[in-house]
Amino acid sequence: MSARDDIIEVPIEIKTSDLDELHRLIEELQEAKGIVDNTSATKRRMPSSGGAPIQNNVEERETLGIYNERDTDMLALPTKGRDKKSRQAVETGNAFKDLRKEVKDMQQTQDNLIPFITQVGSQLGFSLPFLAQGGIRLGKGIKSARLQANLVTPVKSAQVTSGLAKAGITFGKAIPYIGVAFMLGDFLVNQLPDIIAENLFGVGKRLDRRFKRVIEHEYSVGVSREEKAQIAQGYRSVITTSFVSARGATNVANSKVRALNKENLYNKSEEYML
Amino acid sequence: MITLLEHTISRLRQTKDRVNSFIDRNLVDWAETEMVTPAQKDLLQAGLSQEALDGLTINKTGFMKISLAWRYIKDGKPLHFYIEYDTRPHWIEAKGRLHGGSNFLTWEGKDGRQMFAKKVYHPGTTGKHLIENAAKQYKPFLKQRVITETNNFMKVNRL
């Protein structure tokens, strides 16, 4: 209680005990950091000067632990082929790095192989009609060969010869249709679903499931001439942000309440409202 | 390890500063809501005039420091002192016409008669300590408000 000249005052001071604890914690951490700094900077004591003896047998020192990397790399630095005075960084071996490299190589191989297979497949698809034409020619060739052979040395049955020829021709004629059927099947089974999915469910398309665009919310705010005039003359400010809590006092209060109730702050239906 | 420690230290410091400045920014508002308004209601019921209650305010005196202040001056007299603190026994004398007053003091006696005197002895008054009591009474509410608001702030800002 104090009376300052012509006024009565009761001083009130806020002392945050939790924050004092925080301050103490910071100090303790600072001390810990100092200890760590000193430890890393202290030179190792040699056995001759009273330090612990150097352990040569690595097997005895080995510990069991998930972070024990000495299983693969026993030495932190290579002992051979390195200039001791060099300050260049030395990359030590690491099993995880090797595994990652292996996976990367496999990925590279697959990346190279898949276009090759695709190319072969497409070549085959294109060559099927030509193969069909070849089949027709083959059938005709068989027929003519048989006829010529019949002229030289008649076979047992002319009907058999003509039947074979007809079969060859029929098969040859069917080959293009078979090729087209294969191509059509491939298109229907593999390519058409992708095209449909891309056009319906793709980015920004009608059935894009990631967000639903409400077009009225996007343009309705700015279309009124009165509002445009207000914006142009500076009577109204437009906050263009997707962060709901930055749009005004009401939303700030709402977002705080939502945050306290552990609800979702980002109402997607309001995302496009200015 | 050292980087992690440094990071943790700086983050803790930042958090402490942010919370402190948040409390400092809003302390006056909270005190007005939690202390001044209910204290004014109580004092109004105790018989103080609205004019006297208007002088009850919160002043900011420093970082995270405020004071509940009262100032009520009428006819050039600091009445807030006379109400709040004890007054000593003293003599009251008539001013006299030469000094712009009257030559006699007058008042109505206990039996209803008009009394006159040149000077009277006032035995003094006991201070009501209204502000001191109000500060004692409503300080815990302010404390609770600070705790609640700080917790909300830390939740919202994920500190």
**How far apart (Å, rounded) are the C-alpha atoms in residues A209 and B142?**
49
**How far apart (Å, rounded) are the C-alpha atoms in residues B46 and B83?**
12
Question: Could you list the mean pLDDT of each consecutive 10-residue stretch along chain B, which spans 159 residues?
Answer: 75 84 91 92 89 91 91 88 90 88 90 92 91 92 90 81
Looking at CA atoms only, how far is residue B70 from chain A in angstroms? 5
A24 touches chain B (CB under 8 A): no
Instruction: Report strand pairing: B56-62 vs A7-13.
Output: unpaired
Cβ partners under 8 Å of residue A268, min gap 6: A211, A212
**How far apart (Å, rounded) are the C-alpha atoms in residues A56 and A267?**
64
Q: Does A13 or A260 have the greater pLDDT score? A: A13
Of A160, A166, A147, A273, give the one whose Cα is nearest residue A216.
A273
Residue B125, SS3?
Answer: strand
* This prediction's pTM: 0.41
3-state helix, strand, coil in chain B (%, to 5): 55, 20, 25
DSSP string, A94-155: -HHHHHHHHHHHHHHHHHHHHHHHHHHHHHHHHHHHHHHHHHHHHHHHHHHHHHHHHHHS--
Cβ partners under 8 Å of residue B127, min gap 6: B83, B84, B85, B86, B87
- Is there a contact between A7 and B131 if contact means CB atoms under 8 Å apart? no
- Residues of chain B above pLDDT 70, percent: 98
For residue B93, what pLDDT is reported?
A: 92
**How far apart (Å, rounded) are the C-alpha atoms in residues B50 and A4?**
23
Half-sphere exposure of B60 (CA within 13 A, CB side): 11
ipTM of this predicted structure: 0.80
Of A129, A36, A6, A21, give the one whose Cα is nearest residue B82.
A6
With tokens 């024990």, the residue in question is: A68
A12 CB neighbours in chain B (<8 A) are 31, 65-68, 135, 139, 142
**How far apart (Å, rounded) are the C-alpha atoms in residues B66 and B58?**
7
A26 CB neighbours in chain B (<8 A) are 9, 12-13, 16
- Amino acid making up residue B74: K
pLDDT bucket at A111, cuts 50 / 70 / 90: confident
For residue A55, what pLDDT is reported?
A: 54
